[in-house]
Amino acid sequence: MKSEKWKTLRRVIVSCAGALYLAVVIGATVYSQTGYVESLPLVELITAEKGRVPDSALLEGADGLLLNYVEQQDGPWGKRYVLRQMTVLNYMPMEEGVTFVYEAVNLDSPIALSVSIPPEYVYDGMEVRLS
């Protein structure tokens, strides 16, 4: 009789632990797909046509001009988008508002035209959402 009580108690404890784990996983999933994603900076993307980049996509950095681009990665709950920064070493100003960036000729990732936060808070590796 005593053995059956312990088996029943053990089943109840394991079931409660499993239900609690399931609730935590569901809560984390809901938060990651709603609240967390909505708090990420918003990025507007363009593609560099033959290395031609709008001047508004170039930022002044400590080492010179910076070009932000976005990489798509696999995250724990689907796709995530990470902002990367590239130091522009070779460029040539063209007509008004456009610069030819040699590094952008072979860049497969889309370029971040604008980010919804001030440039001083933008850093390499930050997660963003697409507009």
The pLDDT value given to residue 1: 58
Pairing of β 127-130 and β 78-88: antiparallel
Centroid of chain to Cα 7: 48
Tokens linked to 48: 């560099």
Residue 94's φ and ψ, nearest 5 degrees, are -115, -140
The pLDDT value given to residue 71: 94
The pLDDT value given to residue 94: 87
Mean pLDDT of the residues in the chain: 87
List the chain residues with pLDDT less than 70: 1
List residues bridging with 44 in a β-sheet.
114
Q: Write out the H or E segment, with its range, that includes residue 60.
A: strand 58-61
